[in-house]
Structure 1
Amino acid sequence: MTSPSEESAPAAPTPNAGQQELIESTDGLYLVDAGAGTGKTFTVTHRYANIVAQDDVEPDDILLITFTRNAATEMKDRIVANCDYDMRALNDAPIQTFHSLCNEILDQHGFHAPSYLGIDDAITGSTQILENKPIEQEYFREFIDRFSDEHDEYADQLRCLSEPTELLDLINTLAAKGVFPTADGWYRDSRDALEGEFDAFKDAFDEVNRPRNGGSKQSTLRSALGRYGKDKCYLPDAPDRDELRGEYGSKSVPEDVAERVFTEDRDRLIEFVHDVYFDYLEFALGRNYLNFSFLQLFAFVLCCEDDDLRESLAFEYAMIDEFQDSSEIQFKLALLLSGTNNVCVVGDWKQSIYSFQYAAVENITAFESRLERFAAELNDDADRVSFPLEPVTRIELEQNYRSTQSILDFSENALVAPGSSRESVDRESVLEQVVSLFSNTERDHSQIEAFQHPDEHEAILTKIQEIVGNDEYAVEDDGELRLPTYGDIAVLTRTRDFGRELLSTAESSDFPMAYEGGIELFRTDQAKLLLAWLRILEGGSAAKRGWAVVLERAGYVLDEIDYVLEHGRYPDAMEGFRSELEAFETHAAVTRRVFDRYGYDGATADVLLTTIQSLHSSTTMTRGDLIRIIERGVESGYTQEVQAAAGTDSVTVQTIHSVKGLEHPIVILGNMNSGAFPPSGGSGGTVTYSETTGLRQRKRYDDAHGDPHVYDNWRADVLRRCQPTEYDEERRLLYVAMTRAEDHLLLAAGEEPNTFLEELPVEIATLEPNVSSVDLDERTQTQFSIDLPASPGPEGYSPHSLMDDGIYEAVSDGRGTEFGSRVHEFAEDYVLRTDATPDTDDERHVKAFLDGLPGELRVEERAYLPLEADGKRVTLSGVIDLVHVTDDTAEIVDFKTDLSRHAESEYRIQLSVYYHVLDEWFSDRTVTASLFYTAEDTRVEIDPLSEAELAELATENGLRP
């Protein structure tokens, strides 16, 4: 595999004609079609160096947007090599991602940005950027529980949801589209977007309703409506199938169906989404965090509303890389931040594969029309985009420095391959948009093959062994051909599951193979074993499921496991280990002990422990909550990016999404199977949004038949069938996979090849598996090296980050986290409702203590303390159990259910953090901090550490911003 650059640079340092045109074209509007392997990064960085070489231009005058942090770093490295500026001078230059740019804007200017939407909370230097999806989902579930309690009027809408977090995906989608709520409505005219566009929908309707085969065959829509109502339960007013499809023998659906399905009263739905959206914005700010979507939302609003700020931020030059991966809000942000018409967008529509991350391929395929429309929208009440919008000069990079001409020509077939037997693709119109690439390689020695076998994994391994050392698959290396090795080969797959299964097959055969890409963190052996012990500790019906996993891990066979579970006679050593775990006070301590017992000390165990510590510090999480988080992570396939520590000669396995921008001498595209690529799946969430149909609800709660029931919405079902297929992006994925190959391209399938493969101009041969033993001096290592996501904002740590968790592990007589959680929940309930009844002595002690406090009681107060540690700013955040406020004092109280005072020195660190936060909040009062030991009914005041001492601890513990 070559260097993981965003695109290959040309073999020679001299730019070709297309590259030279872009490098020299510094002023004006440019749309650059930079196809796969055309030296995009080489050209963009040379263009940057050419611009900054001008006498009156500094790096701060040029905005260069990339879509990954690694790409930004590489851009800086290459620019340094081509201009008079060194890395120190470019270190703070605006060469960055949209998210980091927005974070910088908000960090410096965003304090009052929420006020433009009617939100009272502010964005501060301690506001965290939340990247961890499981943590945000837990926050959102907590939010929805609160929202449902406070909004009885939306009970029917909430009943229809199969999974509340689907609303979080909807909110992020709307934010990417520039649709924002305000306290009394919607920001600017964004509500209009929620209605959809009937004219655009009618065009799509007409396209799928046109009779096929010159009028002799019924339309795609009429054929699809043959399944209308299947496995559905509609309200009585729904039309029947024949009414929608038209008279018998007709070839298309009646014209009036378009208006009937589009027209629907959605005011209540829009009100519901508005209130969820707005309240969640307030909730997130109240918890002092922003997700990536909200970063862009508030930066956009700030740039729209503050004219002076926008003008001060404006850049003389703007270049946006990978523009096909940008969203609508990012396009608009780029316009707001461009002070002149010196704007250059670079991309390739054929490689737009991130719609699930809100990318809009139309940003590049319809660049000119969107440029005019977005500028008009931004200028509707002020002169925000003042530069001329034409002419737009189009530059095409056609010289490919990666693949042979045979592979380039073959790859174009991916863009017109139907995704199913029912789909018809207009080849001519698609290929008219394609800028064909011309190979710069001297040879065209490519093998392009396809093979299949029901045991596809074994067949792929067999084919790899046939390739290695075979001169028919020779690869080019510095202008010469050499025999291929295992390290020259990459197996690409649409799904992670297939890659994991292939790796498992390879390991069982001692085959040299390594995995790169995203790993389903909660599906790892470490997570499964941790989940098993958590279930055992939780008890109840889930305990047997946990014991079954633990017993199997210990080597018990199925019959033995059944006997043990039936009689409940668990091995003494396991019972003893359970007792040991029950005594631990924190989930992190339980996790660490489980991993220690089973020898899990690699990166996967580390990232799991880090995730659990983050969850613990960010949420009030019980053991049951943690179990549910892991279970949901298993179901959703939550992923963490990993890199395998491969040996010097091993096959690489990657998903297609993770391989974009890379290249390999030999590519095997696996899992070309029906239902896998394109994947078969559900039809999305209950509440959906698209530009053409607007906001829609697939389910409705009603009691039309006398019994309350969640009904299917017939209009939503028909609307879905009126839309074009979603196979376009799958075709682009196929294209991306093919164009990763430099020398040879192979495609593999199992028993049922997909329509893609069947329609490609290649014969599918049957390959009989015959994997032989591999004798290599150095085997691949398949341990995962997991990269924890780096936040573009201030890093958040809990006070536990400064504490020694080892104090909990030495305790043998503790009462466990569940007991402590119940006591804390009682304290909160008693303060908020005063009618909570104590069940234990600890709770009775808490009640008596609270009854004796004369001032205002505040529970579960979140506190944030920024510190300067080793010259860097870090933020500590935690939740204070109780704040007792009187006219003269503010008292911090932390409830502890420990049976001893063994951890008091570490608790002092925790309370010191809270002390300094409250000392700032209540500067006119005396602030104290104390522990209340619930078992002893004793209060102990703590002498806090200074902020300098906390900063020193932060440095010692390696906390970094």
Structure 2
Amino acid sequence: MSNKTSFTPFPHGAAQHELDPAEPASFETSVELVSNNDFDAFYFRALEAAGTYLNRPQIEAVRHLEGPALVLAGAGSGKTRVLTSRAAYLISVQKVNPKNILLVTFTKKAAEEIKERMISFPGLSRQLVYDLTTGTFHSIFYRLLKSQGFHQKVLNSDKQKQIAVKMILKRRGLQDAYEPETLLSILSSFKNNMKTVEDMPSIRPVEKEVKAILKDYESWKQSYDYLDFDDMLLEAYFLLRKNTKLLTSMKQRFPFILCDEWQDTNPIQYELMKMIAKPSNHLFVVGDDDQTIFSFNGADSSIILNFARDFLNAKTITLDVNYRSTANIVTLANQVIKHNQKRHEKTLKANKHADQKPVYLRPDTTDEEASLIIEQVIKDVESGKWKYKDMAILHRTATSSRAMFDQLVLKDIPFVTFTRGETFYEQGIVKPVLDYLRLSMNPQNVAAISSILPSFYLSRDKTMQFIETQELINPEGQPLNQLLNLPRLKDFQRKQISKRLAIVRRLHSMTPMSAIKEIRKFYDKYLEADDRKTITIDKEMITETLAELEASSKKFDTVKSYLQFVDDIIDKNNQMARRKKDSDADVVTLMTIHRSKGLEYPVIYWIGASETILPHSSSLEADQRKDLLLPGEGRQKVDFALEEERRLAYVAITRAQQELFISSPSMYRGKPVAISRFLMKAYGTTTVRPKQGVQVQQGRKSKPQRDAKMVKGLVWECTSSVCFVWKRKDANEKTEDQRKKCPLCKSDMVLTEREIKTYT
């Protein structure tokens, strides 16, 4: 095996081969730090007797009584232990009535686990613990709404919501124009920012159309007396703003508020917490700004970053000892995340020592990557070193996991995924391409005909009705040929349809890869020409997905064998659904990095650690995106997106307890790609190179270069800690007593010196 296809102790081409090691953690615990003479010593002695030993910052957090507190809990630093210990401390030591404590979590499971843990704490009975108000934001505020006479039924099924939107689209003749999930995501984003559908923009034709569809959806919910999760928070927000008596009652009932996963908070959740906490502000929040990776779901990183600015007397406590990972893994995590600019300064300390370092792989392609990693998995299981369930394979997107998914199936390795349930081959963009292939093998495949009709720019329902009617009157044997009999067809349309039908007829005789390339000649244009398809799915993502489909087909000689393989994959995936319900099943876990947050495994394989995969191409070109969800303008979009991508890399690394394997394919979508800048920068390299030796500077696509130099100059810079905006000071601009507002976030801007690139 060559050094390119074997695991190495540092990335290929790294400027340095060793990293500055993480500082070892102090072994001092509450045993040494809490004197028996302290008034609360009994509490810590009881914790120790139960096997819980807290370190210095954990003790400080637990003892915090009044006023706002931000606990920055680094990865693996024991945040749940602190949250539960602090709630128990309030009850046992400070004699706070548990009915006066509100403990907010992000999942129902987390709320239940916290209660179960607290029952074993000193001085607490099951009854005392269950007097605590715990739950998710949604469950807590839904209870509030019901107490005020709200009687709506909860619409908690994503499938039901999507069906409702599909009905609306069909009624408007737009059933093939939008993905319901996309529209619902846009609406959710507005509600998370305390806005209704009426606040949505309606300048462009697409915006007007989206707004009208979502207004119909809101009317549908109202007519059926439904309330969805976003409505719960929005209605509670409006209710508390309007009903000051109710708000005062909430303040009096819950003088102490504890909130978990603060980095995932969205604006409306933050406003609700602030409303209830004021004026005493006994708000105790726990989170890690380095793990803010859910901006696409509404999480706002500025909330945790600006906590001390919003609460001027806030205490900030940093939990910086990692109890999960070995020292070498902690070292890499520190070196990766330190390059983010918009973060609270902190460096993890290591508690576990081990000689083994993270190891790196540089395969040629994602298919070779999958083959080599599965080979390693099998080797470790057969040797008895690990079980399948000890291992997780993490990836950035569903597309980048396609080769790994296929290889797991081919090698018959038991595994589970945590996607929506569909395989890569069932995705909305991919399925019509495969259905063209299916039609070439079986011209009477009605389901495949229905699937591809939108790519003919034809209404699916009306055209299918026409085809079925014509087949009864004058059967063709090849139902798709009935398209030529459509009424009111212009000559050029008939000509285009004839061309397409001829292509379909000859696909079965081509290799699968050639056939897909032939289909893409017209299919890509259809997707990219439709603004509706690119509201949240940018064109780069479409191209990436279809290129991955090509890659999956190249090892097959015939369309028939390829389709058989695809069907086998889909069948295997359906079988896996049963394994997901068995938490003790000995299976490898294949999941996105987003899904892995909060989890840990003895062994982690991070795949796709290459430029355009992670960081994803959409982040490198974020300034070109026209979707409705990404904040900022121009370069700010790129900076914002890249910092979130680096946080994803950090989350991937910190899931590993003992072993970490990182793989960076050198070719992706047929093009050379460099090792992820996040890894190379950690190892002191600022310029990354693809395998072929072509130099690639970090940043967006390269453009013709002019001579440039850096000079110091005056600029206006935004004072917000999470805003990247700055602008050059105009040479003729007067600065005396002049104030500027940031055009992006409306914070104050100040004059400061900055290195500015000038071109000659």
Q: What TM-score, normalized to structure 2? A: 0.57
Q: Does 1:657 find its partner at 2:574? A: no
Deviation at 1:289, TM superposition (A): 1.4
Secondary structure in 1 aligned to 2:312? Answer: coil
Matched to 1:739, the amino acid is T
Whole-angstrom CA distance in 1 between matches of 2:64 and 2:637: 43
Is 1:135 paired with 2:160? yes
Distance change (3 Å), C-alpha of 1:296 and 1:305: same
Q: Deviations over 1:717-755 (max 9, x none)?
A: xx5887635122111111001011122211113342554
The answer to whether the aligner puts 1:38 opposite 2:63 as a matched pair is no
For 1:522 and 1:465, locate their aligned partners in 2 and report how far apart those are by CA, in whole Å.
23
Aligned to 2:89: 50
Secondary structure of 1:171's match? helix
Any residues of structure 2 matched to 1:286-685 within 5 Å, and which? 286-314=223-251, 315-338=254-277, 340-369=280-309, 371=310, 389-415=311-337, 427=339, 429=341, 433-454=344-365, 455-467=368-380, 483-499=385-401, 501-511=403-413, 513-521=414-422, 543=446, 545=448, 643=580, 645=582, 650-680=587-617
* Corresponding position: 1:24 with 2:63: yes
Q: One-letter code of the match for 2:404?
A: L
Q: CA shift at 1:99, angstroms?
A: 1.0
Is the CA contact (8 Å cut-off) linking 1:162 and 1:686 kept in structure 2?
no
Instruction: Find the counterpart in structure 1 of residue 189 from structure 2.
Output: 173
One-letter identity of the residue aligned with 1:502: M
Contact 2:336 2:681 survives alignment (8 Å): yes
Q: 1:280 to 1:485 in 2, by over 3 A?
A: closer
In structure 2, what residue type is equivalent to 1:515?
V
Q: Give the aligned residue type for 1:737.
A: A
Closer, same or farther: CA 568–267 of 1 in aligned 2, 3 Å = closer
Contact 1:166 1:685 in 2 (8 A): no
Tell me the secondary structure at the aligned position of residue 352 of structure 2: coil
- Return closer, same or farther for 1:401/1:566 CA change in 2, 3 Å cut-off: farther
Give the match for residue 654 of structure 2.
739
CA distance in 2 between counterparts of 1:365 and 1:353 reads 14
The count of residues paired between Structure 1 and Structure 2 equals 505
Letter in 2 for 1:653: L
Alignment CA distance shift 1:688-1:447 (3 Å): closer
Letter matched to residue 274 of structure 2:
L
> What CA distance in whole angstroms lies between the structure 2 residues aligned with 1:317 and 1:689?
34
Assess if the C-alpha contact under 8 Å between 1:677 and 1:754 holds in 2. Answer: no
1:99 to 138, 154, 157: 138
| Partner in structure 2 of residue 714 of structure 1 | none
Paired residue type of 2:276: L
| Structure 1 segments unaligned to the other structure (5+ residues) | 1-8, 112-122, 150-157, 195-264, 372-388, 417-426, 471-481, 549-564, 570-633, 694-718, 767-961
Establish whether residue 756 from structure 1 lines up as the match of residue 676 from structure 2. yes
CA contact (8 A) 1:400 1:439 kept: yes
Compute the displacement of 1:542 (Å).
5.5
C-alpha distance 32-464 of structure 1, shift in aligned 2 (>3 A): same
Q: Distance in 1 between matches of 2:224 and 2:625?
A: 26
What is the Cα deviation at residue 275 of structure 1? Answer: 6.8
Distance verdict in 2 for CA 1:743–1:271, change over 3 Å: closer
Distance of 1:546 and 1:414 partners within structure 2: 49
SS at structure 2 position matched to 1:96: strand
SS of aligned partner of 2:676? helix
Q: Percent identity, please.
A: 25
Preserved contact between residue 262 and residue 287 of structure 2 (Cα < 8 Å): yes
What letter is aligned with 2:448? R
Structure of higher CA gyration radius: 1
Structure 2 counterpart of 1:204: none
The offset of 1:27, in angstroms, is 1.3
Residue type at the aligned position of 1:759: M
- Do 2:190 and 2:197's aligned partners in 1 also have CA atoms closer than 8 Å? no
Uncovered stretches (5+) of structure 2, i.e. residues with no partner:
1-46, 452-474, 480-544, 547-569, 668-672, 691-760
SS at match of 1:403: strand
Mapping of residues 747-786 of structure 1, within 5 Å: 747-752=662-667, 753-756=673-676, 759=680
Q: Tell me the C-alpha RMSD between the 2 structures.
A: 4.7
Q: Is the 8 A contact 1:407 1:448 kept in 2?
A: no
Residues 756 and 524 (structure 1), Cα distance of their counterparts in 2 relative to 1, 3 Å cut: closer
SS at match of 2:102: strand
Q: CA deviation at 1:178?
A: 1.4
- Give the residue type in structure 1 aligned to 2:92: A
The answer to whether the 8 Å contact 2:340/2:646 transfers is no
Residue 485 of structure 2 corresponds to which residue in structure 1? none
Query: Distance between the aligned counterparts of 2:382 and 2:175, measured in 1?
Result: 61
Report Cα offsets for 1:760-794 as digits up to 9, x if no partner.
Answer: 55699x9xxxxxxxxxxxxxxxxxxxxxxxxxxxx
State the secondary structure of the residue aligned to 1:668.
strand
Taking a change above 3 Å as real, the CA distance of residues 654 and 167 of structure 1, as seen in their structure-2 partners, is closer
CA distance 1:74–1:277, shift in 2 (3 Å) = same
Is the 8 Å Cα contact of residues 324 and 347 (structure 1) preserved in structure 2? yes
Provide the C-alpha distance between the structure 2 equivalents of 1:38 and 1:439, rounded to a whole number of angstroms: 10
Partner deviation per Cα, 1:34-55 (whole Å, 9 max, x = no partner): 0000000001100000112256
Q: CA–CA distance in 2 between the matches of 1:391 and 1:341?
A: 10
Distance 1:648 1:82 in 2: 31
Equivalence for 2:102: 63
Partners of 1:458 and 1:659 lie apart in 2 by 22
1:107 partner letter: K
- Measure, in 1, the Cα distance between the counterparts of 2:246 and 2:593: 41
The CA distance in 2 between the partners of 1:12 and 1:740, in whole Å, is 24
* Alpha-carbon distance in structure 2 between the residues aligned to 1:30 and 1:42: 16
730 and 641 in structure 1: CA distance in 2 versus 1, 3 angstrom threshold: farther
Matches of 1:518 and 1:687 in 2, distance apart? Answer: 23
Amino acid at match of 1:40: K
Q: Which residue of 2 aligns with 1:379?
A: none
Any idea what the Cα deviations from partners look like across 1:454-499, whole Å, max 9, x if unmatched? Answer: 31111101223455588xxxxxxxxxxx954544332222233554
Aligned-partner Cα distance in 1 for 2:312–2:370: 53
Q: 1:273, 1:283 → 2: CA distance?
A: 15
Deviations 1:525-576 (A, max 9, x none): 9999xx99xx99xx9976173899xxxxxxxxxxxxxxxx99689xxxxxxx
